[in-house]
Amino acid sequence: MGQEQLQVIRRADPAWLSQVLGIRVEGFEADVIGAERGFVSTTTRLRLRTDPPGCGPAAVVLKSESANPVFQGLSRKLRAFEREVRFYRELAPPLADQLPRVHGCSDGDDDHWLLLDDLSELRPGDQVRGLSQDEVMAVLRRIARVHARYWQDPVLESRPWLPAHTYWFTGDFSAVLPAFERDYALRLGEETMKLIRAAVASNDAIEAALRRRPWTLVHGDLRADNLLFGGSSADPVATILDWQTATRSLAAIDVVFLIGGSEPVAERSGHLEELLELWHCELVAAGVDGYRPQEARRDLQLAALRCLNVCLRVYEFLQDPAAPPRVALLNDTELQRHAAAALELRAHEALDALTG
């Protein structure tokens, strides 16, 4: 594949790679990976030819902005690359054993890229297929350590690039609701639609409630397509990628987003309580004090209300006639999983508490 077809890697010439890596790169072969998985970025594997052979990594991964104008616009609105680059520079060091090594990153406003270790030996998660119960448990163990490390840590408040409670699914979706209801009411059922309508109407109250709860570092897009797995299928080890939507917010958002968006309903049936208990126990074991199980449950219900916005945001994405088939299937699947999770978590109890 020639570089004329890969506009997003136009800077990846041998001289540039040599400078970034501190070795002599004579050439490389490039392949775009995950083309239908990463929405706000493009990821390219570069297989390197070095002099002498073997003096550096055999391959690296270059992550840069999406060539899709819709997702590039979303990326810039969210300041996604600034958030991810700053995350790796300023917040990732204590978490280094859980993350890919960073070989280099951009430092300008108009040139956004990260050069990372190639982890192609690991198994990628698949959002459409979904995650197994064991895989979800592995991710919860990982993310709980992140949550615990930065639980109410003032260092997060001192980072101006890290927004509070800002997600790609934040917003007022009242204008989208009628069309959404027309297309999905029959499939989701009246109980679910009643909850979605109430959550949209209570958007400001939900936002205010989030801001009153304990906060930490939150991934913000914790789903199967942003995960890699090592180990066996029965005992997987998770690596969490794509920190472009990192935010300071309610930890339970990550939990609900993961379970609600990535674990098929049939797979999590009968196991939801086990997952929630695991996450809370991992937090406590990692040093989070005074966070009672009943508080965690109410936070998970509040998070489920906020994650109902995902249903409406991805419905907007579904209106793009140019969306590849996998993206359309992914959005439709994610929408229905999140709606089901809100019912399973009895999110209406948190809504009743907000609205009186």
Q: Reduced to 3 states, what is the DSSP secondary structure of residue 166?
A: coil
Binning pLDDT at 50, 70 and 90, where does residue 67 land? low
- Final residue belonging to a domain, choices 117, 149, 170: 117
69-100: pLDDT as tens digits = 666 666 777 788 889 989 999 999 999 888 88
Q: Judge if 83 and 180 occupy the same domain.
A: no
For the record, the structure tokens of 139 come out as 């991710």
- Final residue belonging to a domain, choices 85, 117, 149: 117
- Final residue belonging to a domain, choices 53, 82, 117: 117
Q: Judge if 171 and 315 occupy the same domain.
A: yes
Binning pLDDT at 50, 70 and 90, where does residue 107 land? confident
**How confident is the model over 26-40, as a mean pLDDT?**
75
Q: Judge if 86 and 168 occupy the same domain.
A: no
Q: Judge if 104 and 131 occupy the same domain.
A: no
Q: Judge if 128 and 111 occupy the same domain.
A: no
Q: Judge if 86 and 131 occupy the same domain.
A: no
CB 217 within 8 A of CB 241: no
The C-alpha atoms of residue 80 and residue 65 are separated, in whole angstroms, by 9
The C-alpha atoms of residue 304 and residue 56 are separated, in whole angstroms, by 45
Residue 169 has phi, psi (to 5 degrees) of: -110, 15
Q: Judge if 138 and 39 occupy the same domain.
A: no
- Whether 38 has a pLDDT exceeding 90, the answer reads no
148-194: pLDDT as tens digits = 999 999 999 999 999 999 999 999 999 999 999 999 999 999 999 99
Q: Judge if 84 and 147 occupy the same domain.
A: no
Q: In what helix (H) or strand (E) does residue 338 lie, and over which residues does it extend?
A: helix 325-344
CATH at 94:
3.30.200
Q: Judge if 57 and 147 occupy the same domain.
A: no
CATH at 178:
3.90.1200
Q: Which residue has the tokens 């009743």?
A: 352
Amino acid identity of 29? E
CA angle, 216 then 82 then 95, to 5°: 45
Q: Judge if 230 and 321 occupy the same domain.
A: yes
Instruction: List the alpha helices (DSSP H) in 159-246.
Output: 177-188, 190-201, 203-212
Q: Judge if 80 and 165 occupy the same domain.
A: no
Q: In what helix (H) or strand (E) does residue 139 lie, and over which residues does it extend?
A: helix 133-149
Q: Which residue has the tokens 């840069």?
A: 64
CB 172 within 8 A of CB 306: no
Binning pLDDT at 50, 70 and 90, where does residue 8 land? very low
What domain count does the chain have? 2
Name which of 50, 28, 30 is nearest 42 in CA terms. 30
Find the domain containing 141 and state its range: 123-355
